[in-house]
Structure 1
Amino acid sequence: MQMFVSRRRAVQELVTRRRLLTEELEQAKPPDCAALENGISDLERLILDVRAGRLNVFELVDKGGAVTRVFVS
């Protein structure tokens, strides 16, 4: 799937995903914590890169494994 969004909308989507992962981390058991922490760290970096204009295309993968390519305008 592909999405064409504004920079603002892309950042909003990434911040929402980071918030959801943070909530999951709060309820996670120790074996799952490392993966969630890595995911949060990756999202934080992606947020900074998209916000600064260093990235105009990136991919998001949902829990089901579906990949969405996001194009930022």
Structure 2
Amino acid sequence: MKGETRRRRGFIAQQAEKVDPIYTFQSGDVEIDGEKINILNVDHTAIIADLVLTVQELTKQVRDLNKQVQTKEY
């Protein structure tokens, strides 16, 4: 944010768009110094939904692997 001194974390919309275009949306044109710029924004909800799904899948894999380890004889 302009004039703010604290560090922030976030996503760069152009990078997120390369991963999956659903992670971004256009918010319209803005004119800066006489030049029209189309603003690309990050859809955090879409990213979070995919992250939650991935965590759920990984959790299941860990549980399955733990079961396999418990049933093995050493």
Higher relative contact order (CA closer than 8 Å, sequence separation 6+):
1
Q: Higher helix proportion, which one?
A: 1
Give the structure with higher Rg (CA): 2
**TM-score, normalization by structure 1:** 0.36
**TM-score, normalization by structure 2:** 0.35
